Amino acid sequence: MSRNQKTSTVFFIILCLLFIILTFPLMATGEKEKAKEEEPTLVWVHHYLGGLNPEGDKVWIDALYKKTGIRIKIIKPTESEYQTKVASMLATGEQIDLLYVDPDQFATLTKDNPDLFEPLDERIKKSPILSDTKKFPKSAWDTIRQEDGHIYGTQPAVGLAAGGTLPIVRWDWVEKLGFASKFEGNKKPTLDDYYELLKAFAYNDPDGNGKKDTYGIALGYTTYEMNPFFGAYGMLRDYAKDKDGKIYSPVTQDAAKPIWEYFQRLYREKILEPNFVTNKSATFRELFMTGKVGMICYWDNWVPRLNDIVKSKNPNSSFRARAIYPPVGPEGKQLLRHGGGSYTAILRNSKYKDLAFKLLEFFSTDEGAMLGTAGVEGYDYNIVNGKIVFTEIGKKIGQNHGMKPAWNWKIPWEISPEWREAMQILAEVPGDIQRYYGRNGDQWEEIVGIDAAKIIRGEVSVEEGLKSMRKRLKDMGLVDY
Amino acid sequence: MTTNYKIRKLFPIYLMAFPAFIWFIIFVYYPAILGFIVSFQKFHLISKNEFIGFENYIKVFNTPNFWNVLINTFVIGIFTLALNVACPIIVALLLNEITRNLLKRFVQTSIFIAHLFSWVAIAGIWIYVLALDKGFLNIFLEHIGLHPIPFMSSMKFGKPLVIFLIVWKEVGYLSILYLASITTINPELYEAAVIDGASRFKQALSITIPSLVPTIKVLIILGITEMFKLFDPIWVLRNPGNSQTIDTVMIYVKLYGIDRFQFGYTSAISVLIFLAILIITIATKQGLKYRI
Amino acid sequence: MIKKKQRLRINEPSTGFKIFNFFILLIITLTMLIPLWNVTVYSFTTDLESYEHTLKLWPKQFSFAGYKTLFESVKIWLPFINNVYITVIGTILHVMVNALAGFVLTRKRFPGKGFIVLIFLIPMMIPGESIIIPRYLVMKQLGLINSLWSVIVNNIANTFAIFLMRNYFMSIPISLEESAKIDGASLFTLFKKIYLPLSTAGLATISLIEMVGKWNTLFSAVLYINIPERYTLQQALKVLIVNTESPFTSGLSIPNNAQAAGVIVALVPILLFYPYIQKYFIKGIYLGSIKE
């Protein structure tokens, strides 16, 4: 190399090194983040706590700090990396104080690690807020009591924290097709009524464009959410325990034949949207919103959101989503699935268990309920003339900041009549939560789905399909019969 | 040779190998050894792990559907490997024949694009194309009087779908590797062939392809290791309609190992996979007469 | 210096073949471009239209709503800069380390060669899943958690790249090395002045592969980085779709046009950069310099 080239190379190398060294503190500082004094910071791992983005999170965390004096750090791993992230953190001794668990996860984590979480029974008894039996009766606590008899969270499956799934229909289509009288106020519609309605959705051209491009009902993940229909036979998905203590899955038993035949028929007659195996929730929600399908079975709190989303983008649309009473079976049974059973638990080896409990307690107060649902005043909503008005950001997040009230809290902002109706239906119709008995719900869906897909598509007879379902579950040791 | 000379000669070699060497030790071998130890333990998240010997390994063989999953892995793996060698070569050869530089670059960029998408995006897109009622392909089938086929959720089409999508996604990217090799071929060889009256086809057969053989060998050996690690495409494409026929070993590792926080089990399967890959690689190496 | 010459076209392929070639490549190109076009179109639809699940070739109503939502929900500048940082540094280190390691493998018979080959080859056979957690521990022990260097360091040495480089080095005629040695060149000089310049196709290839990989980093970023200021681009974008899939988390619903916009925003830099690197594996490096 010539002298010139040599100098320029050396110069270039020095420049690079300088760049790396200078940006190192900016980009590279590891664990030693600016130590925030002696103030303890609790680490809360949750799916969807806080705001819509890091900025929203910060606003929410600051608001929480102002109200409780406790500072937290939220870690929201993405869905697919959740398990790995939690596992890595726990296995390498990273600080986690609060962890959001659903029943599946709780069972999975505590199977080999029974001492992972802190039982909260004593603390609840001593807490003035949580021991209020009017607000939290014993039946409420029983909804989250674990197999070992203890309670590990402060949010029973009651109130907004629970909700439930029910049939949601395009009411504007219902009216257009002449079914309004049949379904308006009808608390016990029959399966035949439903069949007629769904058939009309598919064949009577409800969107009026002259083409047969609509379906009656859409499902997703193969069997989701068939619960309102299983409820007509008094069953729900997942597991149940019989009087001898044996575990079985009701919808795989022969008693469930009629319902499977019902769906087989819906598919055969092109009333059931055919992509039910590959559809996700977002898919069937969107099919519903874009007028491709007349009914979906989904969560009550989506009824107002579906209306809001469509109306905000297309104010002139006739779209109106409403919940209706679920079908009644031939024996007069009617059952809806309630949610809940997921909550935030405290890690036993957390250094700040008392503070963590104080936080959880806070969310069982009215103020906490506001923060956990509506969000932060001035950011998510404003109070105008004594009424709560949501900002653009507040509307986007849909009044769910991660901690919904787990008692029958009176919602202080105006809620749509459609939602009020849906909640009314949930309150009136008998309901129950899906049970897992320490088993995994996703796994149930996968295993049962194999034969469910075949049955519904008519590739096997219902008897064969159900027999195969039971065998698969039994081979995996998940059921007794 | 004096020892001094030997050291002076060898030292640069060792020095050059050192960065890679030390990186592997820190980020691969050390974690792997830790993992190996865990495979003999019952992994506790916060308390001490206990040693349980070969229990995890036995559990692996008792996993329901284990043999089924193994077969899936093999079948999908072998077909994918074979097509992942053949198709990119053909594409590279075809690409090589394009004279206009701009067109060549355009085509090459376009076929490379699929590699840039994540599997999530790819599955999302092909779900539209293959959907039962409004999918492009099924509409076409209905037009010509056939029954629509649930491509994305049927047992029959599970494996072909996965194999097709993997090959499709990577053909652009793999063909680059071959294209780069083709550019290193001495043009004089072609000149000589033309003088001997060889057709273009014959030229490709006797000059281009043989010179690609070293690259092919490397990609086969490396492809074998990928065979067992197949995960991403299966994860996004699986559903109850096809899971029985496309679930691979790594899917089981995720479902029954990582997602259940069963790390002893995870490590045990990984050790077994490693041994399997090792044996097959050695056998292939002998078979291909591949000298390092 | 080594001159680069145009590759001579000796004989033109027949027109029939040209057309056949054109068609095949056209079909393949279309299967790649249509999905990309589809995503692009979706990124320019209105919120409501983006909920439709069909193949679109043009938006019914053109709208920037998706991009607006994207840039409002995600502060893109910082992740973008983080991405550039990790991609540039990561790729440079990757190329340096693997080129050196690959070169070592071209040296004939030296003590410890077999050992080094094994050390380089074995990591590829180890399934990644089993070393995720131990590697997390290593990162923690090195103090790299929450540092962008955890992501940079994640794939510095790579078996595939090493063997690929070795291959490209092996295609360089030995006579060049011999004549340089006669002139008294040391190993480093050999590497720097002969092997490196003549294997630009290989270097370009592994740079490209690593660049794309680093640019799209998601998994390791989610694992090692908890500070929003250090999120990579894909990680920051994932925030957009984080809740739309789970049936249990209601509340956040980001319309598809914003998600599509996210895909496009992450893709565009690569697509813009790609043509620059492409010329290295299209243009031939003429080796006729042997005569000179």
- Rounded to the nearest angstrom, the minimum Cα separation between A228 and chain B is 21
- With beta carbons less than 8 A apart as the criterion, state whether B252 and B77 touch: no
* Nearest-CA distance A113 → chain B (Å): 6
Q: What is the pLDDT of residues B77-90, one digit of tens each?
A: 999 999 999 999 98
Q: Which residue has the higher pLDDT, C167 or B25?
A: B25
pLDDT, tens only, C265-277? 888 888 888 877 7
C-alpha torsion A224→A230→A235→A236, nearest 10? 10
Extents of the domains making up chain A: 41-161+340-408, 164-338+431-475
The more confident residue out of C19 and C148 is C148
Tens of pLDDT, residue by residue over C249-262, are: 444 567 888 888 88
Query: Tens of pLDDT along C175-189?
Result: 888 888 888 888 888
Q: What is the pLDDT of residue A172?
A: 94
A-interface mutation test, from B239, B243, B254, most A Cβ less than 10 A away: B239
Quote the DSSP letter at residue C13. P
Residue A2 has pLDDT above 60, yes or no: no
Nearest residue of B to residue A89, measured between CA atoms: B45
Which residues does chain C have within 8 Å of residue B115's beta carbon, measured at their own beta carbons?
Answer: 212
Give yes or no for a contact between B89 and B209, defined as CB atoms under 8 angstroms apart: yes
Closest-CA distance of chain B to residue A47, Å: 16
Quote the CA–CA distance of A298 and A295 in Å, as a whole number.
Answer: 9
Does A24 score more than 80 pLDDT? no
- The mean-pLDDT minimum among A352-366, A409-423, B32-46 falls in B32-46
A218-241 pLDDT, tens per residue?
Answer: 999 999 999 999 999 999 999 999
pLDDT score recorded for residue A73: 93
- Select from A161, A59, A169 the least CA-distant residue to A418: A169
Q: CATH number for A164-338+431-475: choose from 1.10.357.10, 3.20.20.70, 3.40.190.10, 3.40.50.970.
A: 3.40.190.10
Q: Which of A432, A422, A187, A172 is nearest to A305 (CA)?
A: A422
Express as a percent the part of chain B with pLDDT over 70.
98
How does pLDDT run across A40-74, given as a tens digit for each residue? Answer: 899 999 988 888 788 889 999 999 999 999 999 99
Cβ neighbors of C291 (< 8 A, separation 6 or more) are none
Lowest mean pLDDT among A24-28, A223-227, C216-220: A24-28
A400 to C251: CB separation less than 8 angstroms, yes or no: yes
Contact A84 C132 (CB under 8 A): yes
Domain chopping of chain C, boundaries: 74-241
DSSP label of A406: S
Q: Which chains touch B (3 or more CB pairs under 8 A)?
A: A, C
Q: Name the residue with higher pLDDT: A411 or B4.
A: A411
CA distance C215 to chain B (A): 10
Residue with the bigger pLDDT between C91 and A24: it is C91
Q: Using CA coordinates, name the residue in chain A closest to C252.
A: A397
pLDDT of amino acid C287: 40
Whether residues C205 and B34 touch (CB distance < 8 A) is answered with: no
CA–CA separation, C236 vs C76, rounded Å? 8
Mutual orientation of helices C65-73 and C233-241 as an angle, nearest 10°? Answer: 110
Residue of A nearest to B238 (CA): A278
- For residues A50 and A61, what is the distance between their CA atoms, to the nearest angstrom? 7
Please state which CATH number belongs to domain C74-241: 1.10.3720.10
What is d(CA C43, CA C63) in angstroms, rounded to the nearest whole number? 8
Contact between residue A402 and residue A363 where contact means Cβ atoms under 8 Å apart: no
Burial (Cβ within 10 Å: 0-12, 13-18, ≥19) of residue B35: buried
Which band of pLDDT confidence, cut at 50, 70 and 90, is reported for residue A31?
very low
Look at C163 and B112 and tell me if their CB atoms are within 8 Å: no
Q: Tokens at residue B35, please?
A: 């993992």
**C119–B281 CB contact, under 8 Å:** no
Residue C3, pLDDT above cutoff 50 = no
Q: What is the pLDDT of residue C133?
A: 86
Expressed in angstroms, the distance from the first to the final Cα of chain A is: 81
Q: Is beta strand A98-101 parallel, antiparallel or unpaired with respect to A164-170?
A: unpaired
Buried b (16+ CB within 10 A) or exposed e, A134-166: ebbeeebbebbebeeeebbbbbbbbbbbbbbbb
Q: What is the average pLDDT value for chain A, to the nearest integer?
A: 89
Which residues in chain B touch residue C209, judged by CB atoms under 8 angstroms apart? 173
Fold agreement between A41-161+340-408 and A164-338+431-475: yes
Is residue C123 within 8 Å of B21, Cβ to Cβ? no
* pLDDT tens sequence across C116-136: 999 999 998 888 877 888 999
Q: What is the pLDDT of residue A36?
A: 46
Contact check, Cβ <8 Å, B243/A446: yes
Listed by number, the residues of chain C in 178-237 with a beta carbon closer than 8 Å to a beta carbon of chain B are 186-188, 191, 201-202, 204-205, 208-209, 212, 216, 218, 234
- Give dist(CA A366, CA A410) in Å, integer: 9
pLDDT band at residue A323 under the 50/70/90 scheme: very high
The verdict on A109 touching B (C-beta cutoff 8 Å) is: yes
DSSP-derived pairing of the beta strands A431-433 and A343-346: unpaired
Query: Do residue A274 and residue B259 have CB atoms under 8 angstroms apart?
Result: no
Q: Which chains touch C (3 or more CB pairs under 8 A)?
A: A, B
Mean pLDDT of C182-202: 84
A-chain residues near B157 (CB < 8 A)? none
Residue A184 has what pLDDT? Answer: 92
Q: Tokens at residue B283, please?
A: 């056998």
Burial of residue A197, with CB atoms counted within 10 A of its CB: 0-12 exposed, 13-18 middle, 19 or more buried:
buried
DSSP structure string for A324-373: -PPPB-TTS---EEE----EEEEBTT-TTHHHHHHHHHHTTSHHHHHHHH
Contacts of A305 in chain C (CB under 8 A): 250, 253
Q: What is the DSSP letter of C155?
A: G
For B215-234, write each residue's pLDDT tens digit.
888 888 888 888 888 888 99
Angle (nearest 5°) at CA A448 between A443 and A449: 95
Backbone angles phi, psi at A247, to 5 degrees: -95, 135
What's this model's pTM, rounded to 2 decimal places? 0.86
A362-390 pLDDT, tens per residue?
A: 999 999 999 999 999 999 999 999 899 99
Least confident span in A41-50, A294-303, B92-101: B92-101
Nearest chain B CA: its distance from C142 CA (Å)? 10
Mean pLDDT on A198-224: 92
pLDDT of residue C239: 67
- pLDDT given for residue C247 in this prediction: 41
Residues of A in contact with B34 (CB under 8 A): none
- Whether C245 has a pLDDT exceeding 50, the answer reads no
Q: Pick the residue from chain A with its C-alpha nearest to C71.
A: A53
- Residues of chain A with pLDDT > 70: what percent? 94
Please give the CATH number for the structural domain made up of B65-288: 1.10.3720.10
Q: Which percentage of chain C shows pLDDT scores above 70?
A: 86
Check residue B205 and give its pLDDT. 80
Q: How far apart are CA B80 and CA A196, in angstroms?
A: 48
The whole-angstrom separation of Cα B8 and Cα C23 is 58
How many CB atoms are located within 10 Å of the residue A185 CB?
8
The residues with which C231 forms a beta bridge, in sequence order, are: none
The DSSP call for residue A413 is S
**Contacts (Cβ under 8 Å, ≥6 apart) of B122:** B114, B165, B169, B233, B236, C35
Query: In A, which residues are within 8 Å of B150 by CB distance?
Result: 274, 277, 457
The class of domain A41-161+340-408 in CATH terms is alpha beta
Band (C278; pLDDT cuts 50, 70, 90): confident
| HEC secondary structure over B134-151 | CCHHHHHHHHCCCCCCCH
Q: Of the given ranges (A72-86, A190-204, B18-32), which has the lowest mean pLDDT?
A: A72-86
Mean pLDDT of C233-241: 78
**pLDDT (0 to 100) of residue B188:** 81
Contact of A313 with C48, CB cutoff 8 Å? yes
ipTM score assigned to the predicted complex: 0.84
Q: Tell me how close the Cα of A70 comes to any Cα of chain C, in angstroms.
A: 19
Query: Which residue in C53, C85, C247 is closest to A224 by CB distance?
Result: C247
Instruction: Categorize the per-residue pLDDT at A20 as very low, low, confident or very high, splitting at 50, 70 and 90.
Output: low
Residue range A166-176: mean pLDDT, rounded: 95
Q: Do C131 and B31 touch (CB under 8 A)?
A: yes
The pLDDT value given to residue C246: 47
Residue C284: band (very low, low, confident or very high) from pLDDT cuts 50, 70, 90? very low
Residue A256 to residue A262: CA distance in whole angstroms: 10
For testing contact with chain B, the best of C126, C153, C277 (most B CBs within 10 A): C126
Cβ separation B190–C10 shorter than 8 A: yes
Q: Are A227 and A237 in contact (CB under 8 A)?
A: yes
Region A400-408: mean pLDDT is: 88
pLDDT (0 to 100) of residue C9:
47
Contact partners, residue B13, CB within 8 Å, separation at least 6: C104, C107, C110, C187
Backbone φ/ψ region at A341: left (φ over 0), alpha (ψ -120 to 50), beta: left
